[in-house]
């Protein structure tokens, strides 16, 4: 009886945790806007008397999102590129801030850019020794070179990891999308679909060289 209740409790906890974390993040963002933007909006003549505080804060959230969108639009033209380039060069001359800014920018580019240019494909390769296999993401693949750049993320935090230059012949492209690969990494393999696990098993002989590549399977 207790084992059954414990199993139900863990199942329910697993179901509500992502929702609760999402709500908590949105609530913290709402409080941030409420404490920083709402006091300025209330200074607009007549606005504080017409709208209740809740709607003023929601207006601040909308204004903040529009501001970020306008900044993105601004960075697309020549003036924006020149302006932010000047800011970046200025920050790169400050020792401590340079390291923080560079690291933050690189992480943001990897996880916020279009996945087609950030992570190109998911590959399987032997690491850290023969007989052990790791899942990584190809970040650069130049056809004329024998080495491909592979980012090996850590679990459960995929924002940290290692850059490995892996021989092309030692990698096999996995039949999963980049988003699915990230989910596998974050969960430590717990959310891997059975059909994917079986397919990965079929690819191991081709990777180790014990058998030719499966028919039609593209190598990295």
Bond prior to 118 in cis (omega within 30° of 0): no
Rounded to the nearest 10 degrees, what angle do helices 2-36 and 53-74 cross at?
Answer: 80
Q: Residue 213's pLDDT is what?
A: 43
Q: Residue 88's pLDDT is what?
A: 82
Per-residue pLDDT of the chain (220 residues; tens, 9 = 90+): 777 888 878 788 777 887 888 888 888 888 888 888 777 777 777 666 677 777 878 888 888 888 888 888 887 777 877 887 888 888 888 888 877 777 777 666 666 665 445 678 899 998 988 888 899 999 888 888 889 999 998 887 777 788 999 998 899 888 888 888 888 888 888 777 777 778 777 777 666 655 444 333 444 4
Q: Residue 114's pLDDT is what?
A: 55
Q: Residue 118's pLDDT is what?
A: 63
Residues β-bridged to residue 121: 138
Q: Which fold has domain 115-208?
A: SH3 type barrels. (2.30.30)
Q: Residue 189's pLDDT is what?
A: 80
User: What is the C-alpha to C-alpha distance for residues 105 and 122, in angstroms, rounded to an integer?
Assistant: 23
Q: Residue 211's pLDDT is what?
A: 44
């Amino acid at each position: 009886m207790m084992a059954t209740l414990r199993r139900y409790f863990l199942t329910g906890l697993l179901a509500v945790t992502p929702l609760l974390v999402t709500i908590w993040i949105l609530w913290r963002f709402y409080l941030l806007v409420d404490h920083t933007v709402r006091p300025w909006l209330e200074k607009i003549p007549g606005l504080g008397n017409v709208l209740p505080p809740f709607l003023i804060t929601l207006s601040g959230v909308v204004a903040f999102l529009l501001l970020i969108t306008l900044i993105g639009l601004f960075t697309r033209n020549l003036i924006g590129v020149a302006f932010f380039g000047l800011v970046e060069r200025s920050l790169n001359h400050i020792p401590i801030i340079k390291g923080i800014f560079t690291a933050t920018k690189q992480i943001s580019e990897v996880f916020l850019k279009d996945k087609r240019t950030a992570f190109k494909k998911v590959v399987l390769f032997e690491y850290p020794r023969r007989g052990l296999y790791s899942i990584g993401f190809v970040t650069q693949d130049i056809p004329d070179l024998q080495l491909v750049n592979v980012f090996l993320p850590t679990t459960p935090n995929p924002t940290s990891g290692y850059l490995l230059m892996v021989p092309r012949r030692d990698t096999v492209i996995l039949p999963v999308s980049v988003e699915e690969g990230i989910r596998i990494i974050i969960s430590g393999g717990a959310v891997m679909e059975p059909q994917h696990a079986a397919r990965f098993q079929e690819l191991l002989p081709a990777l180790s060289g014990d058998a030719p590549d499966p028919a039609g399977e593209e190598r990295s």
